[in-house]
Amino acid sequence: MPTYKDTKRGTWYCCFYYTDWQGNKKRKIKRGFSKQKESKEYERSFLERVHSDPNMTIENLVELYLVDMQNRLRQSTMSNKKQLIETKVLPYFKTLKLNEVKPTTIRQWQNELIGKGYAETYLKTINNQLSAIFNYAVKYYGLRENPCHKAGSMGKKRANEMLFWTKDEYLTFIKTLEDKPISHLAYQILYWCGLRVGELLALTCADIDLEAKTISVNKSFQRINREDIITEPKTPKSNRTIALPSFLCDELDEYMQKLYNHKPNTRLIPSTKSFLHHEMDRGCKLSGVKRIRVHDLRHSHASLLIELGFSPNLIAERLGHENIETTLNTYSHLYPHKQNELAKVLDSIK
């Protein structure tokens, strides 16, 4: 591996040739290494990635994987993916070579994470991410099989119990926010409309039609690396128009009249997820209502609609689910008591 000393800068650099994926011979120069060893390591790592060597390290594989995913996923999704990989995958697998990772290696990693007491759904998410990385290696980089398949999974797809508020719990909570207009309106929209938090924070004045009594959901807000990002909604079906109850229209009207010099693109709720989490903590402490996640307001809305007897199709449309199966799978445990009501009706008409 040829490396050279840059006498003017006092640093090292490497210069070598390689063949790209189209069969073209190319020259690569990389400068600025403080040690000769670092220069040689860069060349070795670079050639591993180019040649799709199953002896490459997991760190190099992850780099290839993330570059490939960059233009295929939403920015917020990529940010979450990188954070999970950097904190839960690389610390354990970083220096291991691709073909050295066995099912037993995966099991040891799983047991270590299970021992840390993470939520079952979070464990499932972590395991799925590692499996996705190895699937990528099987498809594109010559790995014979995914070791995660033999190791088995960990965690659960859904929590044992979905937390949500009943209407009475919500009404008790919302009283604590009456002196804070932004917080009060934010939680009113979340509970009575079932929006995702990102959808709520992306709403602008132009999205509110008080005459038609509707809210248009057509974008999502994310704060990534201290930068406010507006993206497309989560799925195509997330683009939707939600009918508003009259009392919420009245509250929106009063709130918007007090906005100073607002324009159509003015954000309705100019805050962040962390602010809403803080308000959730404060409101629960004052009201004594059990603590749930801000996202669980969406589940609370769905629970309310189910209790009121609305059909899964209508609920799926209102929540912006891509298909009705998502609605049924997510909220199936809330429907069983309806079976008893159905049987009683059948009895009454016999």
Q: Mean pLDDT, the chain, as a whole number?
A: 88
Quick check: 340 pLDDT over 90? no
Question: Are the C-beta atoms of 98 and 56 separated by less than 8 Å?
Answer: yes
Question: Are the C-beta atoms of 163 and 289 separated by less than 8 Å?
Answer: no
Q: Are residues 334 and 186 in the same domain?
A: yes
Q: Are residues 142 and 173 in the same domain?
A: no
Domains in the chain, number: 3
Q: What would the pLDDT profile of 32-76 be if each residue is shown by its tens digit?
A: 999 998 988 888 777 766 665 667 889 988 988 998 888 788 887
Q: Are residues 83 and 31 in the same domain?
A: no
Q: Is residue 184 part of a domain?
A: yes
The region of weakest confidence among 26-40, 221-235, 313-327 is 221-235
Sign of CA dihedral 179, 180, 181, 184: negative
Q: Are residues 130 and 2 in the same domain?
A: no
Q: Are residues 116 and 183 in the same domain?
A: no
pLDDT classification of 261: cutoffs 50, 70, 90: confident
Residue 243 has what DSSP assignment? E
CATH code for the domain in which residue 79 is found: 1.10.150.130
What's residue 47's pLDDT? 74
Q: Are residues 286 and 313 in the same domain?
A: yes
Q: Are residues 155 and 191 in the same domain?
A: no
**Helix and strand element counts for the chain (H, E):** 16, 8
Between 139 and 85, name the one with better pLDDT.
85
- Domain span at residue 46 reads 1-51
What's residue 193's pLDDT? 96
Between 344 and 52, name the one with better pLDDT.
344
- Write the CB contacts of 148 (distance below 8 Å, at least 6 apart in sequence): 103, 106, 127, 130, 131, 134
Q: Is residue 20 part of a domain?
A: yes
Residue 96 has what DSSP assignment? S
Token readout for 188 is: 């009113």
Quick check: 168 pLDDT over 90? yes
- Of the three residues 160, 195, 229, the one that is the final residue of a domain is 160
Q: Are residues 261 and 318 in the same domain?
A: yes
| Helix/strand/coil for 162 | coil
Q: Is residue 232 part of a domain?
A: yes
Quick check: 23 pLDDT over 60? no
CATH code for the domain in which residue 326 is found: 1.10.443.10
End-to-end CA, the chain: 87
Token readout for 22 is: 């189209």
The region of weakest confidence among 7-21, 144-158, 331-345 is 331-345
Q: How far is CA 85 from CA 54, 93, 129, 196, 273, in A?
A: 20, 10, 8, 25, 22
What's residue 337's pLDDT? 60
Q: Is residue 348 part of a domain?
A: no
Rounded mean pLDDT, 238-260: 94
Q: How far is CA 221 from CA 6, 23, 93, 201, 283, in A?
A: 47, 43, 33, 6, 23
Q: In whole angstroms, what is the distance from residue 298 CA to residue 294 CA?
A: 8
Q: Are residues 88 and 225 in the same domain?
A: no
Quick check: 21 pLDDT over 60? no
